[in-house]
Amino acid sequence: MNCRMEPIQREQVIAKYLSRTLDADAVEEFEGHFLGCDECFDELRLSERMVAELRRSNLTWRRNGGVAVLQFSHSAELTHSAADLDQLRREVLEQSDTRVIVDLSRVTRIDSAGLGQLMSCYSHLVRNQGSLKVVNVTPEVKKVMDMTGISSLIRSFNDEQEAVKSFN
Ligand SMILES: [Zn+2]
């Protein structure tokens, strides 16, 4: 797919997107576009990496049996405009791992934005022959995941080893 955006225009849109100064319609339009546009997708990933390095991440990354495990170091919220949500998105979309476990033990709140992000992380990984599983879900978050039916797509485990094994 050929991108109709000029490089300078692309840079500006992405800078605004990352600094959250695009309006809702423009965000929707851009998100719809960049997933299918190699040029914009690559540029966004590079820019996000730079932004990510500037922010201190609450999200740690490690590997367990060939699976990437993401875990929040301290209390986190997966809610609209929470930095934690942004970090999760970047970690999942930027790394090449497609088999990912997210430890939700320190996530105290989730809202529709957080659920939407989990779903888009899940879809991204499944599209790339991987999957997303969650472990140690807190009762509050579990309730919301159950209510919205997301639990039927994203499998949840109480034990990380079990989650790792489920990928094989
Ligand atoms: Zn493009």
Residues 93 and 29 in one domain: no
Model pTM score: 0.66
Output the CA 5–ligand 1 centroid distance in Å. Answer: 6
Q: Is 38 exposed, middle or buried (0-12, 13-18, 19+ CB in 10 A)?
A: exposed
Residues lining ion ligand 1 (Cβ < 5 A) are 3, 37, 40
Range of the domain at 2: 1-54
Q: Which of 30, 54, 78 is the last residue of a domain?
A: 54
Instruction: Please tell me the distance between residue 106's alpha carbon and the centre of ligand 1 in angstroms.
Output: 36
Number of domains the chain contains: 2
Q: Are residues 22 and 41 in the same domain?
A: yes
| Span from the CA of 79 to the centroid of ligand 1 (angstroms) | 28
69 and 150 inside one domain: yes
pLDDT per residue over 26-83, tens digit each?
A: 999 988 898 889 999 888 888 887 776 656 668 888 999 999 999 998 899 999 988 8
Is 164 within 8 Å of 65 (Cβ atoms)?
yes
Q: How far is the CA of 38 from the centre of ligand 1 (A)?
A: 7
Assess whether 27 and 95 both reside in one domain: no
Tell me how far the alpha carbon of residue 164 lies from the centroid of ligand 1, in angstroms.
36
Average pLDDT of the chain is 90
Q: Is 32 in the same domain as 65?
A: no
Interstrand relation of 76-78 and 107-110 (parallel, antiparallel or unpaired): parallel
Same domain, 97 and 168: yes
